[in-house]
Structure 1
């Protein structure tokens, strides 16, 4: 069983050396229905995430883009964890100040004693009871857009435009299987054959994305959607980690002209770069995944300053937030540490 950044017990290598992800999540939903088991209620829930984790990073970005900071609090686990659970070692005394627990595992066990699947982030916790509600990461961000709509900030983007929904679902599915999960399929391959098949699948998908982004500013056209959020978190980690650590080394992200410019465009957009912590990202992968990096040495490179260079994507037209507006400053206390930022 291979540990990964999404789950402490959530993935494994199959008989032929192929990586497979355990996708059995807690599927409860928080609904905009007062009669629901978990109704939308400002201040009741806490999003527990980790800046290091690409799956959790999605939820941090979406919460910020939609302006939900005042209605759903954010608890941040540190970049490393042990075999038991993500821990709140960034907080004073190593205890989450709202939930009063040292380990995310405690919220899982409060609802499911002896919970045997992965203690994953992101997770939403019911603050009054201290019980985990859901860790179904794709549903979490979808519901932030749909079920919490009454509490979106003025000017919030429509991340799930109805007229693009069918095509967007297809695009996101390919991104998930071939790119988001594809890098893990390379990194955790248990045989040469499995690795080579995963490698070719990944770069076939990246070549497709490079072509798709040649004449459109964002994946679905003129403005940002959920599809862009889902791709960005993998691209942000590609050169910093995946290229070397996961052996996805046909070429770096910066060697794809359109993908690299697209990634920089997003990084320089409020909600994306200001939630990205490259130091924690590198610490997590190189320290936690000891089956791949047994020395736990974290590399000093690569040079990441290029993320702030001009991208030129404005020439393709469109606007990141469509007819809306960008989010305001990062909420006090939720900033990425200055020493972990670029520029």
Structure 2
């Protein structure tokens, strides 16, 4: 079995291998749908979303769950920012056990369904509470299904993050951002030789320059409202200066030195659902403490100063309606808050 790039950046520690860093995208593709065609119908209270605030892929599910108002239908279990070689763990909970699933490790839910599960234990994952079995860890599909298959449980005023008439463009933009940016920072950070690193570095900043041009004249990536494409880009941008610039050697320029992207990221951060699901402390702890082959000492840097995320961004001048015909989500539920900046 080859260890996946997702695993190297998350559940199984990190490994620098010769050549270009390649991501294993073989996930558990079972879907939770309105009609239950895979055997798992969308039902309130049946499932638990297991995430970690440190992980950019899991962070997406936290944002979308908040924006759509799925808190009553889908409970949340949070793993801590660090883990061992076996699994993400529930070390934030009393006794290190998830209070709903009754397990200390996310691995237990994977093995409950697949006793010989051969791949990394990744977040996010959706677990069926009654059986204790993982249903899916297919993170790109999870958020799309939140938007399209869980509509019965959306809050009043939930935005349409995946509007039908824009889906082709959203998919195209999101795919390009995945290959060049979301995954691109990992190709830089885990490159096994100089040539692979320099190729990844060039591709990353080429795409960031393209995004600068795209966003210079429009507030959001696709259309005039927040969509799935913005959610997916934001979680990488939020980690850029605290982690990727130094830790992953993505150091041509900081995000805060790219005026258009920096204003765009602050605009989203200051939008309910984005900044209030982003925990910079856990983000830094995860990357610097877990990736010991890149950061052998495990020392977590004190900087950068993150209060500037709250500075005015001026993007309102471009127009746009963040939630379209919908409304902002209410404040985070008690126990789901993140530390405030400043």
Q: TM-score range by the shorter chain?
A: over 0.9
- Separation of aligned partners in 2, 1:140 and 1:14: 30
- Indicate conservation of the 8 Å contact 1:6/1:55, yes or no: no
Q: Following TM superposition, by how much is the alpha carbon of 1:13 offset from its aligned partner in structure 2, in angstroms?
A: 5.8
**Structure 2 equivalent of residue 159 of structure 1:** 161
Aligned residue for 2:178? 176
How far the C-alpha of 1:230 sits from its partner, in A, is 0.0
The aligned counterpart of 1:150 is 152
Aligned to 1:209: 211
**Structure 2 counterparts to residues 58-97 of structure 1, below 5 A:** 58-97=60-99
Q: Taking structure 1 as reference, are residues 35 and 318 closer, same or farther at Cα in structure 2, changes over 3 Å only?
A: closer
Cα distance between partner residues in 1 of 2:23 and 2:331: 36
- 1:20 is paired with a residue whose SS is coil
SS at match of 2:186: helix
C-alpha distance in structure 2 between counterparts of 1:305 and 1:34, whole Å: 45
5+ residue gaps in structure 2? Answer: none
Deviates more, 1:164-173 or 1:183-192: 164-173
Equivalent pair of 1:13/1:20 in contact (CA under 8 Å) = no
Structure 2 partner of 1:225? 227
Which of 120, 123, 129 lines up with 2:122 in the alignment?
120
Query: Cα offset for 1:6?
Result: 3.7
Structure 1 CA distance for aligned equivalents of residues 341 and 180 of structure 2: 29
Matched, 1:280 2:282: yes
Distance 2:235 2:197 in 1: 22
Deviation at 1:323, TM superposition (A): 1.2
| TM-score normalised over the length of structure 1 | 0.96
Equivalence map 1:8-47=2 (5 Å): 8=12, 15=18, 17-33=19-35, 36-47=38-49
Distance in structure 2 (CA, Å) of the matches to 1:5 and 1:64 = 25
Q: Is the 8 A contact 1:29 1:133 kept in 2?
A: yes
Distance change >3 Å, CA 301–CA 64, structure 1 → 2: same
| 29-38 vs 313-322, greater mean Cα deviation | 29-38
Q: Give the match for residue 322 of structure 1.
A: 324
Does the CA contact (< 8 Å) of 1:12 and 1:21 recur in 2?
A: no
Q: Could you tell me how far 1:34 is from its partner in structure 2?
A: 5.0
Distance 1:109 1:70 in 2: 27
Answer yes or no: is the 8 Å Cα contact 1:124–1:132 preserved in 2. Answer: yes
Taking the aligned partners of 2:285 and 2:268, their CA distance within structure 1 comes to: 23
8 Å Cα contact 1:77/1:87 also seen in 2: yes
TM-score (norm 2): 0.96
8 Å CA contact 2:96, 2:104 repeated in 1? yes
Segments of structure 1 that go 5 or more residues without pairing to the other structure are: none
Measure how far apart 1:72 and its partner are: 0.2
Answer whether contact 1:155 1:324 (CA < 8 A) is retained: yes
User: Of 311, 314, 318, which aligns to 1:312?
Assistant: 314
- The DSSP-based 3-state class of the residue aligned with 1:46 is strand
**2:193 aligns to what?**
191
- The answer to whether the 8 A contact 2:11-2:85 is kept is no
Matched positions, count: 338
* Counterpart for residue 341 of structure 2: 342
Aligned partners of 1:243 and 1:252 also within 8 Å: yes
Give 1:36 deviation, angstroms.
4.5
Give me the whole-angstrom Cα distance separating, in 2, the residues matched to 1:132 and 1:227: 26
1:179-234 deviations in Å (ceiling 9; x for gaps): 00000000000000000000000000000001100000010131100000000000
SS in 1 for 2:50: strand
